[in-house]
Amino acid sequence: MTYSPPIKIVIADDQVIVAEGIGVMLEQQEDFELMGIASNGEKLLHMLNSVQPHMVLLDLNMPVLDGFATCTQIREKFPEIIVVALTTYDDDKMRQRIKAAGAAGMLLKYTSSTDLAVKLRLIMASGYNGTFVSDESGDKTEIDEQTNRNDVFLLKHKISERELDVVRLIAEGLNSEEIAKKLFLSEHTIKTHRKNILEKLNLNNTAELVNFIHKHKLL
């Protein structure tokens, strides 16, 4: 899905005051626009028949239709809309469930406004490319320097998380066969990733790529 700012969002949460707070916080970032709030999954699906957001922020514990079932239906009926779960629970089982339902990420509601905005931009730029963005720790309120650097790099060059994995392993001196074994992928897939990475970064060969990696501190 192609888009240009602002990122149009709809929020679904049975705690409307929470949804309104998140909406206000994101609109202060200037490149987000709140298009509506729904108090449960059923109302959200009805709303999506008349509004066309780029992204839905979805609470997981809602009455009538919870976030997991709602996500599944959005992916079936509105496949162009990016779904991101928002929750207060830092739980791996929930993370796996919502990922299986088709969400592009799961973020914590009490994440800092800067962190939340950066990660939503990253998810929007990446779309459904196999990357799943999530908060790994409930105490983390700020993005560390390396994570922020990587996020900016991913956004700027449209590099996927998997391609970034390949970039790092190339920097370690691994060849395509070794990278394939390490990532449990085929050698053909790795060669395709390498070709795409060079094209995206406008580089000619592995030597230039390694120099680029060190220059931008992507290790």
What is the end-to-end Cα distance of the chain in Å, rounded?
A: 30
**Domains and their CATH numbers in the chain:** 7-141 (3.40.50.2300), 161-215 (1.10.10.10)
Helix (H) / strand (E) containing 177: helix 176-183
**Residue in 173, 166, 174, 175 with CA at minimum distance from that of residue 201:** 166
Burial letters 30-69, b for 16+ CB under 10 A, else e: eebebbbbbbbbbbbbebbeeeebbbbbbbbebeebbbbe
Helix (H) / strand (E) containing 33: strand 32-38
- What global pTM score does this model have? 0.61
In sequence order, what DSSP letters do the residues of 57-122 get, joined into one string? EEESS-SSS-HHHHHHHHHHH-TTSEEEEEES---HHHHHHHHHHT-SEEEETTS-HHHHHHHHHH
Mapped onto helix, strand or coil, the DSSP state of residue 168 is: helix
C-alpha to C-alpha distance for 205 and 157, rounded to whole angstroms = 17
List the chain pLDDT tens, one digit each, 219 residues.
555 678 999 999 998 888 998 998 888 888 899 999 999 999 999 999 999 999 999 999 888 999 999 999 999 999 999 999 998 887 888 888 999 999 999 998 877 777 888 889 888 887 777 678 887 644 443 344 455 555 556 656 677 767 888 888 888 888 999 998 888 788 999 999 999 999 988 899 988 888 887 777 665
